[in-house]
């Protein structure tokens, strides 16, 4: 249980185009999902917190108009990188917080497999 699916796993796009990344919790509901960015050989940096039915909360230094987040349902959050540029090339990874049901522990964040974005 507690599987998070992220799609696509790899995307190449031209500079100036927009790219949408999906994050789905497959077997649990997630009122809160998180988006991270990971540079090579560095750790995960939180970009924003996505709450179902409300606006996302962005970390300092992250442009909200650049990285649009939508959390329309309890199992889906999307990150759209608008007008992508080469400096946006990175590994983007989402997590979903399991509020805990039945035997599962509460408040654990489970991660998707990530999306490698390459902007030409």
The residue ranges that bind another protein (CB under 8 A) are 2, 4, 6, 9, 32, 34, 42-46, 49, 93, 95, 97, 105, 107-114
Which of 47, 32, 27, 30 is CA-nearest to residue 90? 47
Q: How far is the CB of 101 from another protein (least distance, A)?
A: 16
In the 8-state DSSP scheme, what is residue 105?
Answer: P
- Nearest distance in Å: CB 24, another protein: 13
CB of 16 to another protein, least distance (A): 27
Q: Which residues contact 77 (CB under 8 A, 6 or more apart)?
A: 22, 23, 30, 33, 35, 50, 69, 70, 71, 94, 96
Question: Closer CB to another protein, residue 48 or residue 84?
Answer: 48
């Amino acid at each position: 249980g507690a599987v998070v699916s992220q799609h696509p796993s790899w995307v190449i796009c031209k500079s100036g185009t927009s790219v949408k990344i999906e994050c789905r919790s497959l077997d649990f509901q997630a009122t809160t999902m998180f988006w991270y960015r990971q540079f090579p050989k560095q750790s995960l940096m939180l970009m924003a917190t996505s709450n179902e039915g409300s606006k996302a909360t962005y970390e300092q230094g992250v442009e909200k108009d650049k990285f649009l987040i939508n959390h329309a349902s309890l199992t889906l959050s999307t990150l759209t990188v608008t007008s992508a540029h080469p400096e946006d090339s990175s590994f983007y990874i989402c997590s979903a917080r399991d509020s805990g049901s039945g035997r599962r522990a509460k408040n654990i964040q489970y991660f998707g497999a990530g999306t490698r974005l390459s902007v030409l």
